[in-house]
Structure 1
Amino acid sequence: MNNDAEKMFDAIRENEQEKALVYFNESLKKAKIEKDIEGLAEFARSLHMAGFLEQSKESYLLLQELAPEIEEWNLFLAEIAIDQNQTDSGLDLLLQFDEESELYPNALLMLADAYQTMGLYEVSEHKIKEAMRILPDEPVLVYALAQLYHTSGKYKEAIILYEQLVEEETQDLWQENLFILLADCHNAIGNFEEGIDYLEQIYQEDHTSDSLFQLGFAYLQLKQFPRAVQIFEQLLEMDPDYNSAYFYLAESLDEEHRHEEALDAIQKGIDIDPYQPEFFLFQAKLYLKLSEENEAEKSLDQVLHLDPDLMEAKLLKIDLLIGQESYDEVIQMIETEDNEGIYHPNYEWRLAKVYNEIEEFVKAAAHFDKAYLTLADNLSFLEDYSEFLREEANDTKLAELVAKALMLDPNHTYFNELRENLLTSE
C-alpha cells in the first residue's frame, strides 16, 4: 500500500471521513500511474475486510484494468457483490469461470456458499461435490460439505465428515472447534452422551460460552442435574449475559428440588431481559411449588401481558382461580375466549369442574361429555370425569371410562380400584 492508502486508514480511525475519501482517490491515482498491482491488491483486500465494499470494488475494477489476465479479480468482485446482497451479479461473475481455470474449484466453493445462503442446499451440495472431484484430498472442501450438512439438518452425514477431519488432524485449520461441532450434531439427534464425550475433551481455556451451554444442556437431558448446575454456573461466571443459561440453570436446580435457588436464577434472567414470557411462566410454576399463589398469579399476568395467546399460562391462571374458588371469574374468562373464537378442549374440562363445584350438574355433565371427545387419552381428565360419574351414579359411562383408562395404563392404581368396585357392585 502507498502512503495515501495508509493515510486513508489513519483518517478512518480518526473518524475523518471526507479526508479519508480524498486519500482513497489519491491512492488509486498513484496506483494507476505506478501500476503497483501487488500494493493495490493488498489495499483492495484490506478495504474489503474493513467493510468498505464500494471502495474495495472500485480498487478491484482498477486492478482488472491494469492486469486483465488475472482471473482472481472476478472472485473478489463476486464476493463483494454477494456481500452487498447483489447475489445475481455475484453468481454471474462466478459462472464465468470454466472447468479449465485453476480457480474453478474456488468459484465452485463460492457458488456453493451463495446457494447455501439462499437455502438451495441440494444445489450447494452439488457444487461442493463437483469441486471435490477436482481436488479429492482438499480438507477445506470436506469441511464445507460438513458445514452444509450441519446447517441443513443432515447431522449424521456431518458427523462422518467432521470425524474424518479429526482423524486427519486438521483441527487447527478451522475457526470453530471440531469437537464443539461434533457435539452439536450429536446433541441435535439426541446422542447426548456422545456429545458430552466430545465436549469434555476440550481444554478448559478453549471452551466458549456456546460449548459450555451445549455441555450443560446435554447433562440436563441425561438427568445428570448436579453436573448440569455446575456447568451452567461456570458458563454464567464466564459470561453473565448469556441469558438462556439462566433458564436451564433454573430448570436444573428445580429438578434438584432447590426451588428457591431456581427462582433466583430465573429472576436474574428476567432482570437481563424482561420480555421473555417463558421465563415468567417458569417463575410462576416455581412460585406454585413454594405455595406462593399470589406471586404465581402476578407472574402469570406478566406472561399473558407479553403473550396473550400462550395457552399453558391461560390454563394455569384458570386452575389458580379454581383453587381460589373464583368460579365466576373462570366462567367469564372462558366466555371471553369463546366470544373471540378461541376454543380449547381444556376449557371444557375446566368449565365442567367449575359447574360441578357450583352444583350445576347438568352443565357440568355437558362440558365433561364435550371434553371427553378430545381428552379421552388424558388420564388426569379421566380421573376428574370418573369422580363426577361416581357422584352421578352413572355406572354405565363410568365402566366405559375405566376400560379406556386401563387400556392407557393397565397398572393404574386408581382405575384398578374403580374396576374392582364396579365388579363388586354388580
Structure 2
Amino acid sequence: MNEAIEEAINLVENGQVDEGLNHLYKLKESVKNHDDKLLIADLFLKWGFLDEAKEIIFELLELYPDEGQLYIDAAEILIEQDNEEDALEYLEEIKEGDPAYLQALVIMADLLQMQGLDEAAEQKLLMAKKLAPNESLIDLGLGQFYADIGEYQKAIPYYEKVLADGSEVEQINIYILLADAFVHIGKFEEALENYEKGLQQRIEINALFHYAFTAFQLERYELAIAKWNELKDLDEEYVALYLYLAKAYEHIGALNESYKTIQQGLELDPNNKELLVYAGKMAMKLQKHEEVEGYLLNATNVDNGYIEAINLLSSYYLNSYQYDKVIENIERAIDTGEFDPQFEWDLATAKKHIDDYNHALIHYENAYTSFKENIQFLEDFGYFLLEEGNRDRAKEIFKIVLVLDPANVEIEQELYRLEEL
C-alpha cells in the first residue's frame, strides 16, 4: 500500500479525522497509480464521502471503459445516493464474460426487486444461477428472493442446498431462514427443528420468539413457556412475548402465573390494548371483579373502536347486573361510528332488564339477522317474545331452534305447550 495512503488511514483511525481526510484529498489529486486511486475511492466510500469517491471512479471509467468492477463501484455509489435508475444503467454496461458480471446480476436483481419488478429480478438471479450453479451466495439470494415475495415453497430447496453444501454466510443464519419458510407453509414440526439448530449456532432474539410461538402453535405449551422465559431473561423489554406467554400459562392451567405475566407486560407498555383486554379476561377468571372494569375501560380509552374490549366490557356489566352501564358503553361506541352485531343483542338484554321492552324488541329484531342460527340467542329472543305475549312469533323462533337442535327437550316442551294453548 502507498505509504502516504496508509498514513491517512492511520490518522483517521487514531481520531485525527480532519487531518487524515485533508491528507487524502491532496493524494486524490497527486497520486498517479490507478490502483491507489481506486483504494482512495474505496476509503472515501467507506467513510461516507460519496461525491469524492464518485469523482475518482468516473475518472477511472473514462480510462478503462471495459473494466466491469468500476461499473460495480459506480453503481454502489449511485445506490448510496438513492439513484437506483442510473445504477441499473451502469450495471447493464457490464458484459457477460466479465469477472464482475455475476456480481452485477445479483445487484441488479436487488434493485429490480426494490422497484417491484419481481419477474425481472427473478430472471437476473436465475441467469446468475446458470452461470454459477454451485455458488451458495446465489442459492441464498434465490431463497431470500422467493421468501420476500411470499413463495416460501420455492425458497426452501435453495436454503436446504446452502446448508447441504456446508456453506456459512456471515451474519446470516440459514437455519432460521429455513425455519421461517417452513412456518409460512404450515410445516411447524420442520420449523421447530430448524429453529433449534439455528439457535444452537447463535441466539437471535426474534428467532427465539418465533421458536416459542411455533411450539405454542403445536400446543407444546411447556416448551413455549420455557423459550419465552429464556427470551425474557435476555430482553425483558420484548413486549410481544408477554401476551403469548400469559396465554401459554393459561393453557396449562397456571392462571395466577398468567395474570402475573400480563401485569409485567403492562408495566412495560401500559397502553397496550391487547394486554389490557387479556388482563381483563384473566381478572374475570380469577374473580378479581374489582380489577376487571379498570382494565377494559383502559382498553377502550386507548382505542374507542376496539370491538373486543367493548363487547367484553358489556359482558362484564351484564353478568354483574349493571344494565345502565351496558347501554352507556355501547351507545358511546356507536356515537364514535363503531358497530358490531353483538351490540344489538347486548342492548336488547340490557333494555329488557330495565323494562324498556319496546326498544328491547327493536334490538332483538335487529340482532336476529346476525344471530338467526345462534341457539342461545334464539332461546333468549323466544322467551322474551313469550313474556311480551307475542306467542305466534315466539313459536316461529322456537321452531327454528328445534330445526337447529332437534334434541332440545326444553324448547320442544315449550313449543308443545304453546301449541296446546
TM-score by length of 1: 0.86
1:366 aligns with 2:358: no
Residues 51 and 353 of structure 1, relative CA distance in 2, 3 Å threshold: farther
1:267-278 alignment, distance < 5 Å: 267-278=263-274
Q: Please state how far the C-alpha of 1:198 moved relative to its aligned partner.
A: 1.8
Q: Please name the residue that 1:256 is paired with.
A: 252
CA deviations over 1:145-187 (Å, ceiling 9, x no partner):
11111111111111122222222322x1353222211111111
Q: Please state how far the C-alpha of 1:20 moved relative to its aligned partner.
A: 5.1
Amino acid at match of 1:398: I
Q: Which residue of 395, 398, 409 maps to 1:417?
A: 409
Residues 283 and 60 of structure 1, relative CA distance in 2, 3 Å threshold: farther
Equivalent pair of 2:398/2:415 in contact (CA under 8 Å): no
* In 2, Cα distance between equivalents of 1:13 and 1:305: 53
1:101 aligns with 2:98: yes
Structure 1 window deviating more from structure 2 (80-89 vs 346-355): it is 80-89
* In 1, Cα distance between equivalents of 2:137 and 2:48: 25
Residues 287 and 2 of structure 1, relative CA distance in 2, 3 Å threshold: farther
Q: Please name the residue that 1:29 is paired with.
A: 29
Give the share of equivalent positions with the same residue, in percent: 29
Q: Please name the residue that 2:284 is paired with.
A: 288
1:310-389 alignment, distance < 5 Å: 310-378=306-374, 380-382=376-378, 384-389=380-385
Residues 334 and 63 of structure 1, relative CA distance in 2, 3 Å threshold: same
Residues 399 and 203 of structure 1, relative CA distance in 2, 3 Å threshold: closer
Structure 1 window deviating more from structure 2 (42-51 vs 158-167): it is 42-51
* In 2, Cα distance between equivalents of 1:34 and 1:11: 22
* In 2, Cα distance between equivalents of 1:4 and 1:121: 46
Q: Please name the residue that 2:123 is paired with.
A: 126
Paired residues, number: 415
1:35-114 alignment, distance < 5 Å: 35-37=33-35, 39-64=36-61, 67-114=64-111
CA deviations over 1:231-251 (Å, ceiling 9, x no partner):
111122123332212222122
* In 2, Cα distance between equivalents of 1:23 and 1:388: 91
Residues 252 and 79 of structure 1, relative CA distance in 2, 3 Å threshold: same
Q: Please name the residue that 2:145 is paired with.
A: 148
TM-score by length of 2: 0.87
* In 1, Cα distance between equivalents of 2:37 and 2:296: 62
Task: Give the root-mean-square deviation of aligned CA atoms.
Answer: 2.9
Q: Please state how far the C-alpha of 1:275 moved relative to its aligned partner.
A: 4.0
* In 2, Cα distance between equivalents of 1:153 and 1:381: 42
Amino acid at match of 2:100: L
Equivalent pair of 1:246/1:269 in contact (CA under 8 Å): yes
Q: Please state how far the C-alpha of 1:69 moved relative to its aligned partner.
A: 4.2
Q: Please state how far the C-alpha of 1:12 moved relative to its aligned partner.
A: 5.5
1:137 aligns with 2:128: no
Structure 1 window deviating more from structure 2 (344-353 vs 203-212): it is 203-212
* In 2, Cα distance between equivalents of 1:82 and 1:97: 17
Equivalent pair of 2:188/2:214 in contact (CA under 8 Å): yes
Provide structure 1 residue ranges, at least 5 long, that are not aligned to the other structure: none
Structure 1 window deviating more from structure 2 (338-347 vs 377-386): it is 377-386
CA deviations over 1:337-356 (Å, ceiling 9, x no partner):
43444332121111111111
